[in-house]
Amino acid sequence: MLPIPFTRPSPFGRLVRRSAAREGGSGAAAKADQALRVEVVTDADEFAALRTRWNALLSESRSDCVFLTWEWLWTWWTHLAGDRSLHILLAWDGDGLVGIAPLVRARGTLPWQSRLEFLGTGFAGSDYLDLIVQPDREIDVAQAFAASLRQSSDTLHLDHLPPDSIAASSLLDRLAVTAWTAMQTVIGTCPYIPLTGHTWDSYLGSIGSAHRANLRRRLRALDRQFAVRFALVRTDEERREALETLIRLHNRRWDTRGGSTAFPTTECRGFHNDVTRLALERGWLRLYELRLNDEIVAATYCFTYGGRCSFYQGAFDDRYQQQSVGMVAMGLTIKAAVEEGAREFDMLFGVESYKWLWARHVRSLHRIDLFPSDLAGRLHHGTVRATRSARALVRRIFPRRSCTSNTPPAGAVC
């Protein structure tokens, strides 16, 4: 997906206007007159049976990404759903599936705080969540989904939306016109590297000269001291070993720093074991090992899907920190993506300082909260608004100084 500039103060203003123009100037309005049947899937067996149809529709949709595949979301559901319940909306035109709203119902502390949110929300780091819709049916599918959502009167919490998302550009205004209240915000950014047309040497020429020289110096030093091997995991046995090592190295490093949210629980580790197994079967997994004298000292965990290589997580052995093995592993991972012909290397949500050694482009991620006009919706809206105002006040009084701030550095291209 092409980067869209930040839009402030209302990040979705342009998107809604673009949707209205598209509706008035195309054949979509005529198709909207054709009644679509909306089905609500609440049973896990029905979700399981959707695999083939789900991925076929996703491959046609402009929201197509690895985090919306059946494999990712089904695995999330089986391991990380907690007390949520399925509420997947399907839009049918006769026997043809033309739209999916991959939702779950999440309970709140108070009775009116129940809400619908995307499958994949929360743990697991699912970015670019959205509706899945046949390209020429976005307007009428949005109308059908809006009608279904108005009947249920559920608050919607839609997080980690990409720029120009289908939900933002077609669903938002169809609920807003019926007195629903919307809260919209930019929640963070994803640094990324455009790779189309690059060779490894030309890419290196695009990064800072000091970082480029440091990478080459570290590679030469490793070659002098060790037998160096950087390899892609290709078998299930290799996958299990590399994933276990990555999790162990990551947790060992971060346990002394207050812990990490990457692999915190047995359920989360089970999710990654299953999703990497499925991704390996589908040819999406890019799990790399950096070995020195046949010992894994660093690993990078990525997915390549639709021409985009998404960097999910990395880890390195602290004993080799002076050799910068984490930085070397990242460089070799980007090199592998270039040589594979990836059009983009996406570093996903968060602007940790090391990412800016490699990437200068960013795209925004957004959140929409939509509250129905009934009493429960108004109460929920007030609670959310008060909570976020309190958090904003705390951040102003105690500003964060960590490297995970989501403010891109000066000079980043949006």
For residue 161, CA distances in Å to 37, 146, 355 come to 25, 18, 21
The per-residue DSSP string of 275-302 comes to: HHHHHHHHT-EEEEEEEETTEEEEEEEE
Contact 256, 265 (CB under 8 A): no
Q: How many domains does the chain have?
A: 2
Indicate if 331 and 207 belong to the same structural domain: yes
Indicate if 126 and 263 belong to the same structural domain: no
| pTM score | 0.85
**What phi, psi does 256 have (nearest 5°)?**
-80, -5
Which amino acid, 258?
G
Print the domain residue range for 124. 13-190+363-397
Indicate if 101 and 240 belong to the same structural domain: no
Cα–Cα distance between 105 and 376 in angstroms, integer? 15
Question: Does residue 358 lie within any of the structural domains?
Answer: no
Mean pLDDT of the chain: 85
pLDDT computed for residue 264 by the predictor = 81
Indicate if 116 and 52 belong to the same structural domain: yes
Indicate if 46 and 146 belong to the same structural domain: yes
Average pLDDT over residues 221-229: 97
Indicate if 281 and 388 belong to the same structural domain: no
Cα–Cα distance between 251 and 272 in angstroms, integer? 14
Cα–Cα distance between 96 and 88 in angstroms, integer? 16
Nearest 10 degrees: CA dihedral of 95, 146, 59, 76? -110
Indicate if 153 and 65 belong to the same structural domain: yes
Give me the CATH number covering residue 255. Answer: 3.40.630.30
Indicate if 242 and 225 belong to the same structural domain: yes
Q: Is it the case that residue 335 has pLDDT exceeding 90?
A: yes
Indicate if 178 and 215 belong to the same structural domain: no
Cα–Cα distance between 284 and 232 in angstroms, integer? 12
Residues 6+ apart with CB under 8 A from 45: none
Question: Does residue 348 lie within any of the structural domains?
Answer: no
Indicate if 145 and 233 belong to the same structural domain: no
Indicate if 212 and 227 belong to the same structural domain: yes
**For 107-163, how does the pLDDT look when each residue is reduced to its tens digit (9 = 90+)?**
876 655 689 999 999 876 899 999 999 999 999 999 999 999 988 778 899 999 999
Cα–Cα distance between 332 and 168 in angstroms, integer? 37
Confidence of residue 414 (pLDDT cuts 50, 70, 90): low
